C-alpha cells in the first residue's frame, strides 16, 4: 500500500491531473484494492476534515484581502509608504518591499500581492532606472512574504493539521517575515548603490500629512487584525470575520470605491478561491487519514532513526524536500499532504512544533518562486508579459536572501520561539 500511496500521486501529477483529483483517486484505489474498509468511510473522512473552527478563517481572510485590494485600503497604505520612504538610494525598492509586507499583514495571498504591488509600483520603478526585469523579479520574490507574515493561510492549515494554536504560529511568523524583508531591502539598497540609481526625493511634509489622513482607515486595518489577536480580544478566526466587516464598511462608506453590488461580486470571486482550497483540504484529509492508519509515518520515523542522522542533517534533508515540493505544489496542498509525514520526524528530533511550522511555511513560500515551476513565476509571466527565462535569472539574488534567512530560521530556533514569550 505504501508504494501505491507514494508513487501513484507522483505519476498522476506528472500526467497533469489536478491535485485534489490525484489525492482522492489514490485514496479510492487504495481503499478498494488493499483494505477491507467500506468506501463510504471516505466521504465521512472528507467532510470531517472540514469540521474545524480555525478553517473558517481562510474564507474570511481571502474575502477581506480582496476587499482591501479593490476598495482602496491597500492602495492608500502603499501610497503612504511610498511617500515616507525616500531620500536614500534604493528607497523606491525598499518602499516596494515594505508595501508587500504591509499588504501581507492584511491579506496573506501571495499572487494577490504580486498583482496589487506590481500594478502600483512597477511604473515608478521603471522610470527610476531599476529596469523592467529587475523590478518584476523583485515584485515576484517579495510577494511571497505574504505567506510568512501573519495572517497566513498556510499557517492556518498547518495549525489545523498539526493541531497547534494558530495565534502562536502567527506570532512566531513576525520575526522571520521582518528578517526576510530587511534582507531584501538591504540587497536592493546595495544594488542601487553599485548602479548609482537616482535617489528618490522625500515627499514634502504637507503631502505626507495629506496621504496619512487619507490612509488612517487603512493603517488601522492591520492594527485591528493583529492587535485584536495578540491582545486576546478575539481568536484568529474571529479576527478574520472582523476584518471582512471592517473592509466592507471602509470600502463602501468611507472611501466609497465599492458599492454593495461590488462587494457581492468580490464575495463571489473570493468564494471561488475558497472552494478550490477547501476541496483540496477535504481530499488531503482523506489522504492523510489513510497515510496515518497505514502506519507509514511510524515506519518512516523508524527508518530515519535507523540511519542515525544528526538533527542538522535531518533538517537539511527536510528543507530540500520541502523546497522541491513547494516548487510544484501550492502551499496549502503541500502542507496538508506532508505535515502528517514530517511532524513525527520533527517530534523525534526534538523540534518544537511551532518552530517546525515556520520552517515548513518559509520553505513552501520560497518554493513559490523557485525556478522552474514556482507559482509566482507563472503569475508574473502572465501579469507582466515577461519571458520566464529572464525571470528565472532575475529572482536568483532574491532566492539567495531567502535561503540565508531560511538557514538562520532553521538552525536558530530562538528567532521563532522567543516572540512566543511575549504572548505569555
Cα(238)–Cα(56) distance, integer angstroms: 9
C-alpha–C-alpha distance, residues 290 and 305, integer Å: 23
Q: Which three cell numbers stand for residue 406?
A: 531560511
Residues 6+ apart with CB under 8 A from 421: none
Residue 76 burial (10 A CB sphere; 0-12, 13-18, 19+): buried
pLDDT at 298: 66
Instruction: State the Rg of the chain over Cα.
Output: 22
Question: Grid coordinates standing for 42?
Answer: 471516505
Task: Give residue-wise pLDDT tens across range 283-307.
Answer: 877 887 887 777 766 676 677 767 7
Distance of CA 381 to the CA centre of its chain: 19
pLDDT for 245 beyond 70 = yes
Confidence of residue 105 (pLDDT cuts 50, 70, 90): low
pLDDT digits (tens, 9 = 90+) for 140-176: 888 888 788 887 878 888 988 888 888 888 888 888 8
The predicted pLDDT at position 398 comes to 92
User: Can you say how many angstroms the Cα of residue 369 is from the centroid of all Cα atoms in its chain?
Assistant: 12
Write out pLDDT tens, residues 114-124: 776 777 778 87
Q: Around Cβ 253, how many Cβ atoms within 10 Å?
A: 9
Task: Reply yes or no on whether the pLDDT at 1 is more than 70.
Answer: no
Contact between 408 and 183 (Cβ < 8 Å)? no
Per-residue confidence at 423, pLDDT binned at 50, 70, 90?
low
Residue located via cell numbers 476587499: 67
User: How far apart, in whole angstroms, are the C-alpha atoms of residue 291 and residue 285?
Assistant: 10
Residue 249 has pLDDT above 90, yes or no: yes
CA–CA gap between residue 393 and residue 37 (Å, rounded): 50
Q: Where are the domains of the chain?
A: 19-423
Between 4 and 263, the higher pLDDT residue: 263
Integer Cα distance of 83 and 71 in angstroms: 20
**Torsion sign across C-alpha atoms 174, 398, 106, 277:** negative
pLDDT in tens, 67-100: 887 888 877 877 787 777 766 777 888 888 887 7
Amino acid at each position: 500500500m505504501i508504494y501505491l500511496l507514494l508513487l501513484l500521486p507522483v505519476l498522476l501529477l506528472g500526467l497533469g491531473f489536478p491535485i485534489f483529483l490525484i489525492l482522492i483517486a489514490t485514496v479510492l484505489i487504495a481503499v478498494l484494492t488493499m483494505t477491507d474498509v467500506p468506501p463510504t468511510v471516505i466521504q465521512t473522512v472528507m467532510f470531517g476534515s472540514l469540521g474545524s473552527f480555525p478553517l473558517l478563517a481562510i474564507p474570511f481572510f481571502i474575502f477581506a484581502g480582496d476587499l482591501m485590494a479593490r476598495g482602496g485600503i491597500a492602495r492608500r497604505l502603499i501610497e503612504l509608504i511610498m511617500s515616507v520612504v525616500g531620500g536614500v538610494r534604493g528607497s523606491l525598492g525598499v518602499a516596494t518591499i515594505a508595501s508587500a509586507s504591509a499588504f501581507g499583514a492584511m491579506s496573506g495571498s501571495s499572487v494577490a500581492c504580486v498583482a496589487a504591488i506590481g500594478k502600483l509600483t512597477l511604473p515608478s520603478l521603471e522610470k527610476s532606472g531599476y529596469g523592467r526585469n529587475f523590478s518584476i523579479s523583485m515584485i515576484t520574490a517579495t510577494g511571497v512574504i505574504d505567506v510568512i507574515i501573519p495572517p497566513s493561510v498556510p499557517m492556518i492549515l498547518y495549525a489545523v493539521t498539526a493541531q497547534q494554536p494558530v495565534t502562536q504560529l502567527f506570532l512566531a511568523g513576525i520575526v522571520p517575515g521582518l528578517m526576510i524583508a530587511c534582507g531584501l531591502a538591504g540587497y536592493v539598497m546595495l544594488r542601487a548603490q553599485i548602479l548609482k540609481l537616482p535617489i528618490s526625493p522625500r515627499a514634502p511634509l504637507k503631502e505626507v500629512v495629506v496621504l496619512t489622513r487619507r490612509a488612517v482607515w487603512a493603517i488601522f486595518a492591520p492594527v485591528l487584525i493583529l492587535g485584536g489577536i495578540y491582545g486576546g480580544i478575539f481568536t484568529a478566526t474571529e479576527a478574520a470575520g472582523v476584518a471582512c466587516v471592517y473592509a466592507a464598511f471602509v470600502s463602501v462608506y468611507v472611501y466609497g470605491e465599492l458599492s454593495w453590488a461590488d462587494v457581492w461580486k468580490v464575495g463571489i470571486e473570493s468564494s471561488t478561491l475558497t472552494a478550490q482550497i477547501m476541496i483540496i483540504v477535504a481530499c488531503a484529509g482523506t489522504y492523510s487519514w489513510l497515510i496515518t492508519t497505514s502506519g507509514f509515518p511510524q515506519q518512516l520515523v523508524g527508518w530515519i532513526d535507523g540511519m542515525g542522522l544528526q538533527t542538522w542533517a535531518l533538517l537539511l534533508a527536510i528543507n530540500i524536500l520541502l523546497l522541491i515540493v513547494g516548487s510544484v505544489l501550492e502551499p496549502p496542498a503541500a502542507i496538508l499532504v506532508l505535515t502528517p509525514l514530517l511532524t513525527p520526524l520533527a517530534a523525534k528530533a526534538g523540534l518544537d512544533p511551532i518552530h517546525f511550522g515556520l520552517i515548513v511555511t518559509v520553505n513552501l513560500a520560497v518554493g513559490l518562486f523557485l525556478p522552474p515551476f514556482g507559482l509566482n513565476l507563472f503569475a508574473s509571466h502572465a501579469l507582466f508579459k515577461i519571458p520566464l527565462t529572464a525571470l528565472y535569472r532575475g529572482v536568483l539574488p532574491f532566492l539567495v536572501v531567502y535561503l540565508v534567512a531560511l538557514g538562520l530560521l532553521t538552525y536558530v530556533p530562538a528567532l521563532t520561539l522567543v516572540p512566543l514569550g511575549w504572548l505569555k
